[in-house]
Amino acid sequence: MSQKRRSNDVGGVSERGESRSRAVDCETVLAALEDPDCRALLEATAEEALTAGELIERCGVPRSTTYRKLERLTEAGLLEESIRISPDGKHANEYRRTFDDVTISLDDCGSATVGLSSMGASPGAAD
């Protein structure tokens, strides 16, 4: 029996306090969470947004691997990319985790659903 994979919504709160959601691909999210380098990058970005250089330093993941994993995590909707503005004009991309919890559900037919939830404001929301 083949297992059907479905997507689910990512819930959160926008800067204005509005609920936000977007579809995520179950297989893509689970594959990213299975990868130890991806998990290390997600752990490092849980509390603050970090640049690729900062992530390379903190996680000890090789530079080329870090960039590939960041792209994978961003495409999966697990990281959010934004620009860090620097007074010296050397702006950099920074990454922040988009969720607090992952929930995996299986229905009676064997279909899997992945849910990502965030307890606070959306990443990058003004303080």
Cα–chain center distance at 56: 17
Output the pTM of the full model.
0.72
Domains of the chain (ranges, CATH numbers): 7-117 (1.10.10.10)
Which residue did the predictor score with more confidence, 1 or 120? Answer: 120
Residue of 52, 57, 58, 46 whose CA lies nearest to 96: 46
- pLDDT tens digits for range 55-65: 999 999 999 99
Which residue did the predictor score with more confidence, 10 or 64? Answer: 64
